[in-house]
Chain A
């Protein structure tokens, strides 16, 4: 993996390409843009932390600046690192609730019918807004009744029957909100001849902890996850995740933002769509599709962190393999939610303004479903359009014979 120096900002040629592609700068005039917030500001902050500007908290960490940069400047990392180092804003109850996905998820899944019904009520959402500053227009993802991990425990024997094995990093979303996606993943991977195991001790990847300012806890969870990933790696298991953001956090943010070494296992952490596509290309694997599955039109939305990973094409190629799926590729752009960012009252307007043209493109595409590899993009698109959003793996599973 390429090592970056703390003087990486010196590579900036001031070409402003990053600011052109910043979704926040495009809609929120209060944000100074990635060039100024990143490499320009870093030069000053190295002199003194008092040059830190709280407007950097408006960055949604989509990393599109880094994808656009022709000079390999880690603009997004520079901004996020500055927030971690200098921001004096202390996280409150709202940040705690949004960031601690494991804790909140474990409680909510026990009483999910109550939680889902309550959070669905408009008066409750107004109270949540009043108490927590979470925008009342934001619709919460529904919690599942029972976790994915619980379901997997019952599968242990069946999964052990497979000669080849992988470890699945399911993430909080699959565990607490959408176990059927995890089940779809197991179905597809089983069809390819692999059994699925859980990591010894999976914790939330920590992306929400990082963005909400709980750095010590994020580091603790990162170390714990890496310990589990190392064990799996030593046992010869590839670690595969369905969520593009979990994958990105495990592979890149641990080292870049938390300073935790992961170089020894990084190449062993893969994204589901990439893992499966590569298997299908090696000549020894294939999937049997149901030729009678209904013909559907699917619009693919590429999440920001998947763009940053550079692996969008794997999801697209995989979807193209499914007979009876007619694929439309949407222009790559941020949907605006950026994990917990769009939940916050002060960001709601920016969040929806960023996504506006995407929502219009989705409606205009006349698709039956939207497909994407990111759970929070799914929440945003389902809340802001009339379409249902599926993970490419779910579409794959639905079309298997």
Chain B
């Protein structure tokens, strides 16, 4: 089968690149092994740590992916936000100044965008409410109410904690380890359960106007939070749970649907295993399911170690499909013994030229572009820029392909 562009990978970078190409009229296909790391998403998107992420990014080393974006970083950030919104994902925040989102352990972390309806703080120290009820499903193992209560206490917010149950969730507890975020979210797709939960909220919250819940409000439905707010008259805010992340899954689903609606094709469950070259350019890739795809351009958005784009071998780190050039320190220097310090392996990835063309044996391949977590030169955890690099490099690659 033949496409204008074939994208290898199915995560945030691949989907944004795909949507941008598809809406410019390109026939694009995505090839992905399984579902993406968006299933572990925090519900927020980081651009760069610091009060003003755009300014902080100006002073980065030339090897940092942001340094290859040129002047257009601000516009790319705006475009990424617009695509999320076009896909139906309502966000809070902007690239001018970071805000803070509450993590599953109650910590407050800087971010650029967060999904509407989650617990956020403008300054990382205070909230615009003084008391709240923390309400969690009984037997739900992936939400730590005490950590969250402690965090609010530090910010001067008084909280009370309560649990709720629904008949459907009680049966689910027969398999306690499978009482997970998605299970609860699915139960809350049902109108009768929403109504039952609404009356529990009214009963438990009493005079408290703000209710904090795990981010499990609806799996297919996106209106459960607003529906509960409408019935109860309370402000309802959510905090991300441990994986699987319902918010992340909703982001993936919305982006996939947008891509497909714009004519994109997704080969899910396919691992790209082979490729062929013609005159220094990639001609085709072949997948684990025996499907060969030809294209004018190929985009490597296969992720890092967890996404499956990079592999750690005894001899060093390798890029799995093309054997592309990898920028990495010697194996002994890949880790720092201090667990909480910056880990060098986080910055390992492939080398690309100024146009994000992938280098193989020191030469950039004319029609092969790299974007997202497979790239080298940045530390997503330490710098808080994983989502930003994924989205902005993906859009830059799309721009380079469109202008080709």
Contact A67 B178 (CB under 8 A): no
Task: Let me know if A310 and B168 touch, CB within 8 A.
Answer: no
Q: How far is the CA of A254 from the CA of B92 in the complex (A)?
A: 52
- B40 contacts the other chain (Cβ, under 8 Å)? yes
Looking at A69-77, A100-108, A169-177, A365-373, the stretch in contact with chain B turns out to be A69-77
Nearest chain B CB to A272 CB, angstrom units? 16
Q: Least Cβ distance of B9 to chain A in Å?
A: 11
Say whether, besides A26-B186, A29-B174, A68 and B34 are in contact (CB < 8 Å): yes
Q: How far is the CB of A119 from chain B (nearest CB, A)?
A: 35
- Of the listed residues B244, B265, B268, the one surrounded by the most CB atoms of chain A closer than 10 A to its CB is B268
Cβ-based interface call for B304 (8 A): no
Given A2-B288, A15-B244, A313-B1, do A68 and B182 touch, yes or no (CB 8 Å)? no
Inter-subunit contact B289/A33 (CB<8 Å): no
Q: How far, in Å, is A314 (CB) from chain B's closest CB? A: 8
Contact partner, B174, options A30, A35, A329, Cβ 8 Å: A30
Q: Which residue of A15, A36, A307, A357 contacts B40 across the interface (Cβ within 8 Å)?
A: A15
Within 8 A of B (CB), among A262-319: 267, 281, 307-311, 313, 317
**Which residues does chain A contribute within 8 Å of B40, judged by CB atoms?**
15
B188 CB, min distance to chain A CBs, angstroms? 13
Chain B: CB-nearest residue to A33: B178
Instruction: Give CA–CA (A19, B185) in the complex, Å.
Output: 13
8 Å CB contact of B35 from A70, A332, A357: A70
Smallest distance from the beta carbon of A135 to chain B beta carbons, Å?
22
**Is A20 an interface residue, CB under 8 A from the partner?**
yes
B180 within 8 A of A: yes
Report A313-341 residues with CB < 8 Å from chain B CB.
313, 317, 329, 332
The answer to whether the Cβ of A375 comes within 8 Å of any Cβ in the partner chain is: no
Interface string of A10-30 (1 = CB under 8 A from B): 000101110111000110011
Residue contact A19 to B178, C-beta cutoff 8 Å: yes
A67 & B175 in contact (Cβ 8 Å cutoff): no
CA A26 to CA B184, docked complex, whole Å:
10
**Contacting A15 at CB < 8 Å: which of B39, B183, B271, B308?**
B39
Bound Cα distance A208, B33 (Å) = 29
Q: Are A310 and B34 closer than 8 Å at their CB atoms?
A: no
Query: Closest chain B residue to A35 by CB distance?
Result: B178
Find out whether the CB atom of A20 lies under 8 angstroms from the CB atom of B182: yes
Tell me the B295-317 residues at the A interface (CB within 8 Å). Answer: 306-308
Q: Is A95 an interface residue (CB 8 A)?
A: no
Over the window 103-142 of chain A, the binary record of Cβ atoms lying under 8 Å from chain B Cβ atoms (1 yes, 0 no) is: 0000000000000000000000000000000000000000
B357 interfacial by beta-carbon distance below 8 Å: no
Within the complex, the shortest CB–CB distance from B47 to chain A, in Å, comes to: 26
The binding surface of chain B is classed by DSSP as loop
B165 beta carbon closer than 8 Å to chain A:
no
> In the complex, which residues of chain A have a beta carbon less than 8 angstroms from the beta carbon of B178?
19, 25, 32-33, 35-36
Sorting the interface of chain B by its residue count into under 10, 10 to 19, 20 to 34 or 35 or more gives 35 or more
State the Cβ distance, B257 to closest chain A Cβ, in Å: 8
Q: With CB as the reference atom, state the residue of chain B lying closest to A31.
A: B175
A66 within 8 Å of B by Cβ?
yes
Residues of B within 8 A of A13 (CB): 306
Contact indicator A71/B168 (Cβ below 8 Å): no
Max count, chain B CB within 10 A of own CB: residue among A19, A32, A69, A332: A19
Smallest Cβ distance from B93 to chain A, in angstroms? 27
- Given contacts A30-B174, A67-B269, A70-B35, A19 and B182 within 8 Å (CB-CB): yes
B180-A19 in contact (CB<8A) = yes
The answer to whether B174 and A15 touch across the interface, beta carbons within 8 angstroms, is no
Q: A2-B288, A25-B178, A317-B1 are in contact. Are A20 and B269 (CB under 8 A)?
A: no
* A17 contacts across to B, CB distance below 8 A: 34-35, 39, 244
The reply to whether A311 and B174 form a contact with Cβ atoms under 8 Å apart is no
Question: Do the beta carbons of A29 and B34 come within 8 Å of each other?
Answer: no
Q: How far, in whole Å, are A267 and B289 apart by their CA atoms in the complex?
A: 11
Q: Which residue of A lies closest to B242 (CB)?
A: A16
B171 part of interface (Cβ distance < 8 Å):
yes
Complexed CA–CA distance, A12 and B102 (Å):
29
Residues of chain A lying within 8 A (CB to CB) of residue B243: 15-16
B288 and chain A: residue at smallest CB distance: A2
B275 at the interface (CB under 8 A from A): no
- Bound: A394/B178 CA distance, A: 43
CB contact under 8 A between A307 and B1, given known A29-B174, A70-B36: no
Nearest B residue (CB) for A307: B269
Pair B267/A313 contact, Cβ less than 8 Å:
yes
B177 proximal to A (CB < 8 A): yes
Q: Given the complex of chains A and B, what is the CA–CA distance between A317 and B287 in angstroms?
A: 18
The 7 closest A-B pairs by CB, nearest first: A310-B289, A67-B269, A70-B34, A29-B171, A32-B175, A69-B34, A33-B178
Residue pairs across A and B with Cβ atoms less than 8 A apart, 7 shown, are A19-B180, A20-B249, A66-B269, A307-B269, A309-B289, A313-B267, A332-B268
Known contacts A68-B268, A332-B268, then 19 further A-B pairs from the complex at CB < 8 Å, ordered by chain A residue: A15-B39, A15-B40, A17-B39, A17-B244, A19-B178, A20-B39, A20-B182, A21-B35, A25-B183, A29-B172, A29-B175, A36-B175, A68-B34, A69-B34, A70-B36, A72-B34, A307-B269, A309-B289, A310-B290
